[in-house]
């Protein structure tokens, strides 16, 4: 009998990625204060990759307390431009400011992932993708925001790559699943090495 696998997330998107890979698992949302953890880390001068790793570990640790015998997967993602970490825009003006900041620059999506069992980290890593936003005119930004509407507040960078957000970019380097926030290829390899799956 294979050990139990739990995803420490209530995200239907992340659950669908694991379901599509044929994994058998349960899920349970972590109960942590992400913003407080992030603020404490930034006071210690932690970079965006470290923040993503710490948050993924904290989520897995929290759920592992409730299911100590299971292998618990925690994941989190930061979006960074240099050392600046972005959060979801609160409104249209906030989204516009984000797009102006990203225009003409390369930013990174840093996906941290951890596997914890009985409060012990069995495996973890951070995987990054680089996204080059082309030079965006004010006219384009306003037109884009008009077309996307409130959906712009649904993601940290004010874009969805699978939608009209693709028009923002001139180049993208990185694994598709890392961009989506759950690096499936290294995760599956880790689960095989831990004996959680045998496919």
**Active-site residue list:** 76
d(C-alpha 77, C-alpha 83), whole Å: 14
d(C-alpha 96, C-alpha 59), whole Å: 31
The structure tokens 């080059």 sit at 132
CB 199 within 8 A of CB 187: no
Give the phi and the psi of residue 153 in degrees, each rounded to 5.
-85, 0
Give the phi and the psi of residue 136 in degrees, each rounded to 5.
-105, 125
Residue 121's nearest CA partner among 1, 2, 8 is 8
């Amino acid at each position: 009998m294979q050990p139990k696998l739990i995803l420490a997330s209530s995200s239907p998107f992340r659950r669908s990625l694991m379901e599509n890979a044929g994994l058998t698992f349960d899920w349970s949302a972590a109960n942590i204060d992400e913003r407080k953890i992030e603020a404490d880390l930034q006071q210690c001068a932690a970079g965006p990759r470290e923040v993503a790793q710490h948050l993924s570990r904290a989520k897995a640790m929290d759920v592992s307390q409730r299911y100590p015998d299971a292998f618990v997967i925690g994941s989190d993602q930061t979006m960074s431009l240099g050392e600046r970490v972005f959060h979801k825009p609160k409104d249209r003006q906030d989204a516009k400011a984000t797009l102006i900041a990203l225009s003409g620059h390369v930013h990174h999506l840093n996906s941290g992932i951890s596997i914890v069992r009985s409060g012990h980290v069995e495996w973890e890593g951070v995987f990054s993708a680089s996204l080059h936003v082309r030079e965006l005119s004010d006219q384009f930004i306003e037109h884009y925001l008009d077309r996307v509407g409130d959906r712009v507040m649904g993601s940290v960078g004010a874009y969805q790559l699978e939608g009209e957000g693709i028009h923002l970019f001139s180049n993208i380097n990185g694994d598709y699943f890392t961009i989506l926030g759950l690096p499936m290829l290294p995760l599956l390899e880790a689960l095989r090495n831990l004996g959680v799956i045998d496919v």
